C-alpha cells in the first residue's frame, strides 16, 4: 500500500457494551438486557450465560429468567457517556475525537515519551476504564480509520488489515451489498480494484474512505474542546425510595469527580446533583463552595447536609453529577512549620491552616443555612455610612480603595438620639470630642443626608461615632437654623 500520511499513531477505544454499561457501570450481579422494539440488542455477561441471544424477544427472555432487568436503548445517554469518557481520556492526550456510536480516537504520538511507551498507555487506559465501570477494546494503528478497524476486530498493534472482512468497513450498506455481489470478501480484494473503477461505481466518497484508511490522504479529526466539563450518571436497577441510600453512589460519583479534577489539575467552586425518575420531574440541587476545592471528603459532607433537607422525592432511578465551571489549580508550596502563622506584606497574620478552616466553616454554614445565609462585606461607592458597604458572595470580594479615615465596624441599625448639656453630648457621662468634624453631605438622588461626624470618648474610655444634623437648604439655613448648641446629637457607631 502507498502510505504518505502514516507517521502518526492513533489509539481507538471501542466500547461494544456501551448500551448496557451506561446502565450497569460494570457493577451488578443481575442479568441486564437492552432492547429495541422488545427485541434484545445487547446484554451483559450474566444474561449471556443464561442462554439469552441477540434478536430474542423479551417473552423468551422472561422464560429463561424471571428477574431480568430490561432497558430501552437510549442513544442520548450513550452520547453523554461517550462525551464523559472523552473528557476522562483528555488526561492522556489533548487530541481526543468522538467516533460515534461507541468509539473514541486518541492521537497518542506526542504522549509516548510522557507515559513511557504505548504499553503503559494501554495499561493505564484499561485500568482506569475498569474503575469507571466500562470495558473497551483497544486498537492501535497509523491512521484513525485503521485504528478503529483494529479495535473492532481486536487486532494486535499496527497489524496488517488485508484480511479485514468488508462487513467491518464503515461504509453504506448498499456499497457493502454491491461488493459482496462482485465477490469481494476482504479489504485486500477491494483494494485490488482500481480507484477509477470504484469511483465510477460507488462514488468519490468510497474511494476517499479507502485512501484515508491507508494513509494516502490526510484524515483530519474534530477534537473535543479544551474547555473541561464533567457529567457522570449512575442508574439504579431498582427504584430507590430512601434518600439516605444514595450516600454510596454519591461517594462513587464524587470519587470519579475528584480523580477527574486531579488528572486535569482543576478545582471547582460549584457542582450539581440531579435526582431523576422516569415517572417524576427531576429534582436538582447545587453545592456552592466558599473557595475552589477538589477535596472528596468535603464534597461528600456538604452533599449529605443537602440530602438531609430533601423530603419531597418519592422514587429515584438515577443520579447525575455535573459541573461546568472550573478553575486551574494553583500549587501552594507547603511550609516546614505547618500551621505556623506568618506576617504578610499587608501586616496580616495568616496561615494555610487558618484559611482551610475558615473555608470549611463557611461551606458547612452555607449547606445548613442556605447559600444566602453567609456572605462577605465589601466597600460600596457611597459616602453615606448606611450605604458604604454591600454584601457580596464569598470568594468574590470587591474591596476597592478604602479612604484614610476612622470609621467604626459596628453601626447601629438606626441612629440613637443623645442627650446634651450646654450643647455638649452625653452618653454615660460627658463625651469628649477627639476628632472631627467630618462633614458628609450627599444622597440628593434618593436619601439625602447632611451631617457632621465626630469621634468621641466617654469617661470610661469607650469610643463612639456621633454626629449632628445639618440643614440642607440655604434658605432654611439662613432663616431657621438653630444655634449649634441646640442641634441634636446622635450616636451612630461604636469603635471596638
Q: How confident is the model at residue 398 (pLDDT cuts 50, 70, 90)?
A: low
Chain centre distance of CA 480: 65
Q: With 80 as the cut, is the pLDDT of residue 75 above it? A: yes
Percent of the chain with pLDDT over 70: 86
Whether the Cβ atoms of residue 22 and residue 78 lie closer than 8 Å to each other: yes
Percent of the chain with pLDDT over 90: 55
Q: Quick one: which of 44, 19, 17 has its CA closest to 30?
A: 44
pLDDT value for 268: 93
Range in 105-119, 217-231, 322-336, 360-374 with the lowest mean pLDDT: 360-374
pLDDT value for 213: 93
pLDDT value for 479: 45
pLDDT value for 56: 92
pLDDT value for 409: 81
pLDDT digits (tens, 9 = 90+) for 144-179: 999 999 999 999 999 999 899 999 999 999 999 999
Compare 415 and 403 and report the one with higher pLDDT: 415
67-86: burial string, b at 16+ Cβ within 10 Å, e else: ebbbbeeeeebbbbbbbbbb
As a whole number, mean pLDDT of residues 434-444 equals 86
**Residue 402, helix vs strand vs coil:** coil
pLDDT value for 353: 61
What pTM did the predictor assign? Answer: 0.76
pLDDT value for 420: 87
Q: How confident is the model at residue 123 (pLDDT cuts 50, 70, 90)?
A: very high
Q: How confident is the model at residue 485 (pLDDT cuts 50, 70, 90)?
A: very low
Q: With 60 as the cut, is the pLDDT of residue 73 above it? A: yes
Whether the Cβ atoms of residue 436 and residue 455 lie closer than 8 Å to each other: yes
Read out DSSP for 4-18?
SS--S-EEEEE-TTH
pLDDT value for 448: 83
**Phi, psi angles (nearest 5°) of residue 77:** -65, -35
Amino acid at each position: 500500500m502507498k502510505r504518505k500520511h502514516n507517521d502518526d499513531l492513533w489509539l481507538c477505544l471501542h466500547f461494544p457494551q456501551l448500551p448496557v454499561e451506561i446502565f450497569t457501570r460494570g457493577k451488578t450481579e443481575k442479568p441486564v438486557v437492552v432492547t429495541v422494539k422488545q427485541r434484545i440488542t445487547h446484554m451483559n455477561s450474566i444474561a449471556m450465560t443464561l442462554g439469552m441471544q441477540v434478536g430474542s424477544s423479551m417473552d423468551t427472555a422472561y422464560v429463561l429468567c424471571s428477574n431480568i432487568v430490561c432497558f430501552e436503548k437510549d442513544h442520548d445517554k450513550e452520547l453523554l457517556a461517550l462525551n464523559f469518557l472523552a473528557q476522562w481520556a483528555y488526561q492522556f492526550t489533548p487530541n481526543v475525537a468522538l467516533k460515534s456510536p461507541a468509539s473514541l480516537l486518541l492521537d497518542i504520538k506526542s504522549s509516548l515519551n510522557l507515559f513511557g511507551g504505548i504499553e503503559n498507555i494501554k495499561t493505564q487506559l484499561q485500568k482506569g476504564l475498569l474503575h469507571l465501570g466500562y470495558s473497551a477494546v483497544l486498537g492501535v494503528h497509523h491512521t484513525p480509520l485503521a485504528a478503529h478497524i483494529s479495535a473492532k476486530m481486536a487486532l494486535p498493534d499496527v497489524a496488517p488489515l488485508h484480511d479485514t472482512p468488508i462487513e467491518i468497513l464503515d461504509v453504506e450498506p448498499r456499497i457493502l451489498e454491491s461488493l459482496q455481489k462482485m465477490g469481494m470478501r476482504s479489504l485486500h480484494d477491494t483494494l485490488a480494484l482500481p480507484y477509477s473503477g470504484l469511483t465510477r461505481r460507488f462514488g468519490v466518497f468510497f474511494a476517499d474512505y479507502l485512501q484515508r484508511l491507508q494513509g494516502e490522504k490526510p484524515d483530519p479529526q474534530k477534537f473535543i474542546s479544551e474547555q473541561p466539563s464533567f457529567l457522570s450518571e449512575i442508574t439504579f436497577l431498582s427504584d430507590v425510595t430512601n434518600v439516605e441510600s444514595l450516600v454510596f453512589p454519591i461517594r462513587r460519583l464524587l470519587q470519579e469527580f475528584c480523580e477527574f479534577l486531579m488528572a486535569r489539575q482543576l478545582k471547582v467552586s460549584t457542582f450539581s446533583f440531579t435526582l431523576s425518575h422516569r415517572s417524576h420531574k427531576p429534582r436538582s440541587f447545587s453545592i456552592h463552595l466558599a473557595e475552589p476545592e477538589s477535596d472528596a471528603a468535603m464534597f461528600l459532607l456538604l452533599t449529605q447536609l443537602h440530602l438531609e433537607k430533601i423530603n419531597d422525592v418519592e422514587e429515584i432511578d438515577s443520579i447525575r453529577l455535573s459541573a461546568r465551571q472550573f478553575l486551574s489549580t494553583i500549587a501552594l508550596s507547603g511550609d516546614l512549620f505547618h500551621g505556623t502563622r506568618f506576617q504578610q506584606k499587608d501586616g496580616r497574620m495568616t496561615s494555610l491552616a487558618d484559611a482551610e478552616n475558615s473555608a470549611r466553616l463557611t461551606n458547612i454554614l452555607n449547606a445548613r443555612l442556605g447559600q444566602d445565609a453567609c456572605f462577605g462585606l465589601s466597600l460600596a461607592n457611597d459616602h453615606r455610612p448606611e450605604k458604604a458597604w454591600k454584601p457580596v458572595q464569598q470568594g468574590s470580594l470587591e474591596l476597592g480603595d478604602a479612604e484614610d479615615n476612622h470609621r467604626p465596624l459596628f453601626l447601629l441599625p438606626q441612629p440613637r438620639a443623645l442627650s446634651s448639656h450646654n450643647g455638649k453630648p452625653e452618653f454615660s457621662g460627658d463625651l469628649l470630642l477627639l476628632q472631627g468634624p467630618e462633614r458628609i453631605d450627599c444622597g440628593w438622588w434618593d436619601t439625602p443626608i447632611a451631617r457632621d461626624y465626630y469621634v468621641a470618648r466617654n469617661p470610661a474610655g469607650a469610643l463612639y461615632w456621633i454626629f449632628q444634623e445639618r440643614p440642607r437648604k440655604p434658605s432654611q439655613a439662613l432663616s431657621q437654623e438653630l444655634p449649634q448648641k441646640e442641634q441634636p446629637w446622635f450616636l451612630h457607631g461604636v469603635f471596638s
